[in-house]
């Protein structure tokens, strides 16, 4: 069950619009390494986790990623609000605008719509946690790429915050993997899937 708080996890107050930058940053909303995918991935995986601590990590980080997609969407919104047609025509933003005006829609920087094909929930705790470690690194590197394109401090500040969270999440998934390992026999971690083979 989810409750909503009427605040952002970190402030976003952007004074200067920049539609082209918005088209790069929108990728962390609906792109392959973005927050929507992260959230859906973790919230989907938690049901078959064998250890309650790990289910807790997935629930809490999955929830935090919802707060992050709100941050990314807010950044995109503030970079594109109040634009005029003259400011839009002839820019890369024009092709997004024609379908969405200055609405917020989950897509990658390339224009590909968000897809569940970019996430996995395998039902195998070892595989799922490795997927999550990789996902956090992909999210981190995408923020690195965005930071190379940003000059405005108002945009830099929340993006740096979001990037830092990916490192912390990586550490937590790493610890979750250690927890899963502890619950298995190290002589053969792969003897069975603890989430499926019940009587081994």
For residue 113, what are the β-bridge partners?
107
- The one among 44, 48, 50, 175 contacting another protein by CB under 8 A: 175
C-alpha distances out from residue 56 to 51, 62, 106, 119, 121, Å: 9, 10, 27, 20, 16
- The one among 20, 47, 111, 178 contacting another protein by CB under 8 A: 178
- The one among 44, 48, 50, 77 contacting another protein by CB under 8 A: 77
Q: How far is the CB of 92 from another protein (least distance, A)?
A: 19
If one asks whether residue 5 binds another protein (CB under 8 A), the answer comes out as: yes
Indicate the SS3 state at residue 17.
coil
Residues 97-136 that bind another protein (CB under 8 A): 130, 133
If one asks whether residue 50 binds another protein (CB under 8 A), the answer comes out as: no
For residue 107, what are the β-bridge partners?
113
Kindly write out the interface string for residues 9-28 of this chain, putting x where it contacts another protein by CB under 8 A and - elsewhere. Answer: xxxxxxx-------------
For residue 194, give both structure tokens: 């603890």
DSSP string, 23-74: HHHTHHHHSTTSHHHHHHHHHHHGGG-SSHHHHHHHHHHHHHHHHHHHHHHH
If one asks whether residue 174 binds another protein (CB under 8 A), the answer comes out as: yes
* Alpha-carbon dihedral 66, 167, 44, 74, rounded to 10 degrees: 20
- The one among 28, 33, 45, 74 contacting another protein by CB under 8 A: 74
Provide the binding-site residues for another protein, judged by CB under 8 A. Answer: 3-15, 53, 56-57, 60-61, 64, 70, 73-74, 77-78, 130, 133, 143-144, 147-153, 155-156, 160-165, 167-179, 181, 186-187, 189-190
């Amino acid at each position: 069950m989810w409750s909503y708080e009427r605040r952002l996890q970190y402030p976003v107050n952007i004074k200067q619009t920049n539609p082209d930058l918005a088209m790069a940053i929108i990728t962390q909303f609906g792109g392959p390494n973005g927050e929507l995918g992260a959230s859906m991935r973790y919230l989907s995986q938690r049901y078959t986790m064998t250890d309650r601590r790990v289910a807790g990590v997935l629930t809490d980080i999955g929830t935090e990623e919802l707060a992050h997609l709100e941050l990314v969407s807010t950044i995109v919104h503030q970079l594109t609000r109040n634009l005029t047609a003259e400011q839009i025509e002839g820019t890369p933003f024009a092709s997004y605008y024609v379908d969405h005006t200055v609405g917020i829609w989950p897509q990658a920087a390339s224009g590909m719509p968000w897809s569940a094909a970019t996430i996995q929930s395998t039902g195998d705790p070892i595989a799922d946690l490795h997927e999550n470690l990789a996902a956090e690194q992909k999210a981190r590197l995408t923020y690195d790429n965005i930071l190379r394109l940003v000059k405005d401090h108002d945009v830099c500040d929340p993006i740096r915050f979001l990037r830092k969270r990916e490192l912390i999440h990586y550490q937590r998934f790493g610890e979750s993997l250690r927890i899963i390992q502890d619950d298995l026999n190290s002589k053969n971690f792969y003897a069975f899937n603890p989430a499926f083979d019940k009587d081994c």
